[in-house]
Amino acid sequence: MYPVQCVLQVQRTVRWGPLASVSWLLLRTCRAHSSHPSAACPGPERQKNGEQKDFSSRLATGPTFQHFLRNTSAPQEKPSLPELEDPPPYLTVEELLGRQRKVYLETYGCQMNVNDTEIAWSILQKSGYLRTSNLQEADVVLLVTCSIREKAEQTIWNRLHQLKALKTKRPRSRVPLRVGILGCMAERLKEEILNREKIVDLLAGPDAYRDLPRLLAVAESGQQAANVLLSLDETYADVMPVQTSPSATSAFVSIMRGCDNMCSYCIVPFTRGRERSRPVASILEEVRKLSDQGLKEVTLLGQNVNSFRDNSEVQFNNAASTNLSRGFSANYKSKQGGLRFSHLLDQVSRIDPEMRIRFTSPHPKDFPDEVLQLIRERDNICKQIHLPAQSGSSRVLAAMRRGYSREAYLELVHHIRDIIPGVSLSSDFIAGFCGETEEDHLQTVSLLRDVQYNVGFLFAYSMRQKTRAYHRLKDDVPEEVKLRRLEELINVFREEASKTNKTFVGCTQLVLVEGLSKRSSTELCGRNDGNLKVVFPDVEMEDVTNPELTGRAQPGDYVLVKITSASSQTLRGHGLCRTTLKDSSAHR
Ligand code: 5AD
Ligand code: SF4
């Protein structure tokens, strides 16, 4: 066995008082197990071995339990650069700096992971790392991973096999390639990854990205390093994500992290931890900056965006109870006070009337009327709601612990459509959950037909360890049945969506232009208010705010498009004129 230094870390937070979370922080050495051919090699590596010895002796006098406690007592106050001025005793400031090493980041999974990649990069950039989009050029490869389904994890294991070849073939003249696993898979599998794939040098869970410079410094010296601590209050509020595409018209703004819902099939509460919201003021500041940069669309992002609750300001922590959607219940004790989603949405939508506001992903239980009314009233809040149903059978919904029945869900759909006529609805569904019968499946088919969603995300059930379903239920729907049901759901969804989308033919839609269509360089592509893709010819057109100004629409322009045809996923039409959001709403 190689020496392993494990520190059982008790994380206490100032704000939350009592014992907050317990997890492992691992620092381990892997002398004999280094997969790099230079583990016992001459030349520059001798120097490396010297460094390693030096490191080992420093490690011996290194971090104490007190040190870790001190470093984690108030995560909100941990700034990124001052950390470098106060390195842990076993690392120097120089070792914490990137030394111009090139980092290649690869993102898997959901939009939260895209945002996490930007956060991780923002932290590394401040530490002196450079970014590369060329894998061959990289000194560090970081995979931001997803654990939601078995298939997502298998993709990462396959990728690690490819990286192993890259790592072992690396010329000795170059610094050894370091490979890191970030995000949900690091959190779920912890040291199993280090043991199974010897090429992995570091692990960082979703709440440990501030620790990346230290983890990389440890990895640089040939040690494996891991931080998979979950936090009760890490929201990266002060880390401005670095936008990867400077010409983008829209951005995602993270407003909360984690999930307390504990749906019985879902791994997310275990990999991303408890729900916590970012302070309203820091969200508004980020949106203002994005507006100043000329961005035209912001999507508020979180595992449960509409459960948002900013408790950071004491004066708002009253005892006001939480309004849930009618007929819905939560799996946790009712929470009270704080600034809620309707307040945030109101404030964000006031920043720039020309900026579209969207949000994802919400839970159907948190749609009180004040949120729905606000969506109806504000021209720049898109009339688009993701309403993940997961199943159309009340029996399966109960087994999933979703907190609503089919009837309550349908009532909510009707209520939303009454308040926001023409609203675009989308949903997630899981085919073949534990105990799902053919009758249950047909109930889901009929829900798809009843609601007529515009967009759908459909998945075959994948049993995840740790979840309630794993402990209490049986994954008893055979794989081929799951896949057959999934295919049926996809076909029904497509049929219904193309019917629904055909109702747009002959109508005029306000489209925010994103750029040239991927399929044709003579067409532009953008999205309507309901987030449907709209394609139209790239020709000169008038600008309604200045009729003398004819020209081609650019990314970030609003264009009125007359729809001429529709499929289940795309609308097509021709541009009438360039306009503004305000102008087009005035003529609605
Ligand atoms: N198997 C299949 N799909 C899942 N989802 C979450 N957990 C699982 C699982 N174990 C789906 C849900 C969720 C979406 C993000 O992923 O539909 O809304
Ligand atoms: Fe998973 Fe349910 Fe939380 Fe969504 S609401 S992240 S499905 S536990």
pLDDT digits (tens, 9 = 90+) for 120-159: 999 999 999 999 999 999 999 999 999 999 999 999 999 9
Mean pLDDT, all residues of the chain: 85
In angstroms, how far is CA 548 from the centroid of its own chain? 43
The residues that bridge with 256 in the sheet, in sequence order, are 277
Residues 499 and 515 in one domain: no
Whether 428 is covered by a domain: the verdict is yes
Inform me whether the pLDDT recorded for 42 exceeds 50: no
Q: For residues 89 and 63, is the Cβ–Cβ distance under 8 A?
A: yes
Same domain, 375 and 390: no
pLDDT single digits (tens) 350-405: 999 999 999 999 999 999 999 999 999 999 999 999 999 999 999 999 999 999 99
Residue 528 lies in a domain: yes
Ligand 2 centroid from CA 93, angstroms: 40
Residues 198 and 281 both lie in one domain: no
| CATH classification of the domain holding 541 | 2.40.50.140
pLDDT digits (tens, 9 = 90+) for 179-232: 999 999 999 999 899 988 889 999 999 999 999 999 999 999 899 999 999 999
Cα separation, 26 vs 202, in Å, equals: 10
> Helix, strand, or coil here: 479?
helix
List the CATH number of the domain containing 427: 3.30.750.200
What is the total count of domains within the chain?
Answer: 4
Same domain? For 100 and 211 the reply is yes
pLDDT bin (cut points 50, 70, 90) of residue 422 is: very high
Radius of gyration of the chain (CA): 25
Q: Is the CB of 363 under 6 A from ligand 2?
A: yes
Q: Which domain holds residue 310?
A: 247-329+336-382
Structure token pair of residue 300: 């508020």
The per-residue pLDDT for range 540-564, each reduced to its tens digit, is: 999 998 888 899 999 999 999 999 9
Residue 494 phi/psi, 5° resolution?
-60, -45
Q: Measured from the CA of 462, which atom of ligand 1 is nearest?
A: 1
468: Cβ below 6 Å to ligand 1?
Answer: no
Strand segments (E) across 450-538: 455-460, 508-516, 523-527, 533-537
Q: Is 265 in the pocket of ligand 1 (CB under 6 A)?
A: yes
Instruction: Tell me whether residue 429 is in a domain.
Output: yes
| Burial zone of 262 (CB within 10 Å; 0-12 exposed, 13-18 middle, 19+ buried) | middle
Ligand number with the minimum distance to the CA of 149: 1
Concatenate the DSSP letters of all residues of 88-150 into one string: -TTS-HHHHS-TT-EEEEEE-SSHHHHHHHHHHHHHHHHTT-EE-S-GGG-SEEEEEE--SSH
Question: Are residues 112 and 216 located together in one domain of the fold?
Answer: yes
- Considering the chain, what percentage of its residues have pLDDT values greater than 90? 73
Residue range 1-32, pLDDT digits in tens: 232 222 222 222 222 222 222 223 433 333 33
How far, in Å, from the CA of 148 to the mean position of ligand 1?
A: 6
Please indicate, yes or no, whether residues 342 and 376 belong to a single structural domain of this protein. yes
Same domain, 150 and 270: no
In a domain, 190, yes or no: yes
Distance CA 111, CA 580 (A): 28
CA of 286 to the centre of ligand 2 (A): 26
437 and 365 both lie in a single domain = no
Query: Is any ligand 1 atom within 6 A of the Cβ of residue 427?
Result: no
Ligand 2 centre distance from Cα of residue 363 (Å): 8
266 shares its domain with 402: no
Say if ligand 1 is within 6 A of residue 282 CB: no
Lowest mean pLDDT among 36-50, 321-335, 378-392, 437-451: 36-50
The answer to the question of residue 72 being in a domain is no
Ligand 2 neighbour 425 (Cβ under 6 A): no
The ligand placed nearest to the CA atom of residue 257 is: 2
Whether 7 is in a domain gets the answer no
**Comparison of pLDDT for 568 and 94, the residue scoring more:** 568
Span between the terminal Cα atoms of the chain, in Å? 71
pLDDT of residue 13: 26
In a domain, 400, yes or no: yes
Q: What residue's CA is closest to ligand 1, atom 2?
A: 461
Segment 315-336 shows an average pLDDT of: 76
Please spell the DSSP secondary structure of 267-335, one letter per residue: -HHHHT-S-EE--HHHHHHHHHHHHHTT--EEEEE-TTGGG-EE--SGGG---PPPPPPTT---SSPPP
Q: Is the pLDDT of residue 70 over 70?
A: no
- Closest ligand 2 atom number to CA of residue 363: 5
CA 103 to chain centre: 20
Ligand that lies nearest to the alpha carbon of residue 305, given by its number in the listed order:
2
